[in-house]
Structure 1
Amino acid sequence: MQKTQELEKRRKLHDRMEIMVNENCKIAIPSDILEKLLQPHKLSHYCFIFLDQGSETYKIDLKDITIGDSQMVFGLPNQIFTNALKDNHSLNYKAAFDENTLGLLPNSFPFLLDPLNLNMITFTPDAKERVKSVFSTLFQLLHTTGKPNKIEIILAYLNTLLTEFNNAYFEQSNQKNPPNTKLSKYIAFKLTVEAHLTEQHDVHIIAEKLAMTTGSLYGVVKKFSGVSPKEWITNRLILEAQRKLQYSTLSVKELAYELGFNDPDYFSRLFKKNTGTSISAYLSSHHD
């Protein structure tokens, strides 16, 4: 399993920011990097692939996601991501940047938390043309020879691009942007859990932090995820276990302790209950 931090340093297209943009594969990726990126790897950055024409299938956290014309797939830091094989008939735009670059932008973008668990966006015809235009401008800015472009200009276009992504993400599911109160509470719940993922979370304490009753929190989480808060937390921990098993050599006991479980046997039973397979069987079929 490859981690992408070192790879991205070699692919960086701006000397003062971690940002990369490609248009219809005009910029060739070195063969050794391409070989690794076509294998499952843990993302160290935000990754976006917008498809103008064609069809491509990506895998994110063990889930296949197929996109077609006017659609985009995106990966988030720490997700296990597998790129699609090159399709000579596809026309696409790709972008990637790190947390530090995101922190330079003036706006916040709730879609980057993927609250609806989609990892993809479908654009209307008008939005598609705007997105293509901004992508092309960013590509030109980053690949213009001679005097480097000002960071402020690059960030302005990146902010516009992410604003388009954010609007389309919620509009495709008939959600308001910014999100309505219930969705905002669900996002806050996710953030609270993610902030201290390996702690044994108490749903009552989380509800108090969010100024909600446990019943209200249950209703919100159930509405957007289909499971209870406790089940959501358990599922998230099992997903983190699956990610770690993809690229680490931790023992079952070490993995259990790292994820906050004091009883490795209980963790093993929970893993099998949620995934339908034992940890040893999972390793045999997925470990690279």
Structure 2
Amino acid sequence: MQEQKGKYEGLPNDELEIKVRSNDNPYISDDIQNKILQPRRLSSYFIVLIESGSITYNLDLQDFTLTDGHLLFAMPNQIFTPPAKTDNLKYFKLLFDENTLALLPQQFPFLVNPSNTQTIILDSAAKERVTKVFGILNQILLSDKHETDTEVILAYMNSLLSEFNVAYFKNKRPANTFNTNLSKFIEFKVVVETSLTEQPSINTIAEKLALSTNSLYRIVKEYAGTSPKDYFINRLMAEAQRRLRYSNTSVKELAYELGFNDPDYFSRLFKKSTGKSASEFLPRQDLSGK
């Protein structure tokens, strides 16, 4: 990480948006505990590793049951509902933002979830290594964060994410496929996320990625199991479900927010995709935590 040191110079450690929670460093306040149990839209990356025990999280309306060596990761803007406290559970939780991620010396493709799975299962050796690193990082951030060089904190962070990245892609595809098709699929997902409400055409996206539409179709089909158009629509409908459930936006307002000129067409598309009308999809909830 030596070549990155210029990035860290003059950066106070308390400006690093990294938090670790564990059995040794839990949320103590009842007010905080009650607040974090409310459904909320994540503003940072969230990772939880279960060292022992079992627990179920809800992410974007889907339940994920985790046990020993299982890891769940969530990305900014996903709707996250934490579970109530569970007895005999040993865990580590990690939260960090995009700015902290940008300080690391490499990228971590698993964080854009190209294989569309939010869980990782660590083997016993990886779990042991990760648990040790989590423990060290937890100790640093809990006790002497202001006395530790930023580079040291980020080195442990980099080590953790490297382990997760390797475990995510292990036995999935050969390296040469990763370097070509997977990298293009990751670029496709980034374009979808950054231009979601603009609703660019598939031709426009393909041109932006320097691909033919046929090549883009083949790559998206390989990794997502669907066409680029259907992938984009599914992503739009997932965002619509989030906003309907967790905001006070009307169906008409939501249609315009998502880039639809015709609210009626949006409603028909939503009904076709979800099997339910947008107006009755889910009861809205208070995200304030108050």
Q: Distance in 2 between matches of 1:188 and 1:121?
A: 22
| Distance of 2:212 and 2:197 partners within structure 1 | 23
Give the alignment's Cα RMSD to 1 decimal: 1.8
CA distance in 1, matches of 2:126, 2:250: 48
**Cα distance between partner residues in 2 of 1:123 and 1:175:** 19
Alignment of 1:158-177 (within 5 A): 158-171=157-170, 173-174=172-173, 176=175
1:248 matches 2:262? no
Equivalent AA in structure 1 for residue 242 of structure 2: R
Residue aligning to 1:235: 234
> Equivalent residue for 1:219?
218
Helix, strand or coil at the partner of 2:196:
coil
**Aligned residue number for residue 67 of structure 1:** 66
Separation of aligned partners in 2, 1:270 and 1:45: 30
Cα distance in 1 for partners of 2:93, 2:36 equals 13
For 1:224 and 1:283, locate their aligned partners in 2 and report how far apart those are by CA, in whole Å: 30
The whole-number CA distance in structure 1 between the counterparts of 2:246 and 2:24 is 28
Kindly report which structure 2 residues correspond to 1:121-140, keeping only aligned pairs within 5 A, or say none.
Answer: 121-140=120-139
Which one-letter code corresponds to 2:14 in the other structure? D
Do the aligned residues in 2 keep the contact of 1:197 with 1:237 (CA within 8 Å)? Answer: yes
Q: Which has the higher contact order (CA 8 A, sep 6+)?
A: 2
Query: Shift in Å at residue 173 of structure 1?
Result: 3.4
Alpha-carbon distance between aligned partners in 1 of 2:231 and 2:211, rounded to the nearest angstrom = 17
Q: Is the 2:27–2:33 contact (alpha carbons within 8 Å) kept by the matching residues of 1?
A: no
1:43 touches 1:81 (CA, 8 Å); kept in 2? Answer: yes
Q: What is the CA deviation profile of residues 37-68 of structure 1, one whole-angstrom value per residue up to 9, with x for unaligned ones?
A: 11211100111100011111111111111111
Aligned residue pairs, count: 274
Q: Residue 266 of structure 1: SS of its match in structure 2?
A: helix
SS in 2 for 1:283: coil
Decide whether the 8 Å contact of 2:14 with 2:146 is kept in 1.
no
Which deviations, in whole Å up to 9, do the C-alpha atoms of 1:64-114 show, x marking residues without a partner?
111111110011100000112211111111110111111111111111101
Task: Give, as a single letter, the amino acid of the residue that structure 2 aligns with 1:127.
Answer: A
* Counterpart code for 1:90: L
Residue 204 of structure 2: aligned partner: 205
Instruction: Rate the CA distance shift 1:87–1:160 in 2: closer, same or farther, 3 A.
Output: same
SS of corresponding position for 1:198: helix
Question: 2:200 & 2:187 partners in 1: Cα distance?
Answer: 14
Asked if structure 2 preserves the Cα contact closer than 8 Å seen for 1:21 and 1:94, the reply is yes
Partner SS state of residue 96, structure 1: strand
Gaps of 5+ in 2: 1-12
Partner of 2:89: 90
Summarize deviations over 1:156-199 as a string: whole Å, max 9, x none: 11011111111111116356499241111111111112121111
AA aligned to 1:117 is N
Contact 2:25/2:142 (<8 A) preserved: no
Deviations 1:186-233 (A, max 9, x none): 111111121211112211121122222211211111111111110100
Structure 1 pair 174–85 and aligned structure 2 pair: CA distance change class (3 A)? farther
Cα distance in structure 2, aligned partners of 1:235 and 1:74: 20
The reply to whether residue 45 of structure 1 matches residue 53 of structure 2 is no
CA distance in 2, matches of 1:32, 1:245: 27
